[in-house]
Amino acid sequence: MRKERWKEMAREAFADGIIEHNKAYSLRVFQQLTGMKAAAMRRARLNGLPVRRVGVHSFVLGSDWIKYLQEHGKIVGKDV
């Protein structure tokens, strides 16, 4: 039962796709949450998205992602 509840919580978190400014995300989890594939991640990194490494593990900070979106994201909708 405990294992099933954990899986359900994980599914809910991924379904929302929310990146919080005060959290660090492994590169794999970050890509799952944002839906970015490897090519899109390479492009984002080349455009300035910092990816931090600790040993062999790579991480993206939520605050870095929000800053990147503010600088590089397009505004869409009626207000454009």
3-state secondary structure of 68: helix
Q: How far apart are CA 67 and CA 25, in angstroms?
A: 15
- What's the rounded Cα separation, in Å, for the pair 61 and 70? 15
- Asked if residues 25 and 62 have their Cβ atoms less than 8 Å apart, the reply is yes
Q: pTM for the full model?
A: 0.74
Tens of pLDDT along the chain (80 residues)?
A: 566 765 665 566 556 678 999 999 999 999 999 999 999 999 999 999 999 999 999 999 999 999 999 999 888 887 65
Token representation of residue 52: 């931090």
| 59 DSSP β-pair partners | 26, 52
The helix or strand, by DSSP H or E, that contains position 78, with its residue range, turns out to be: none
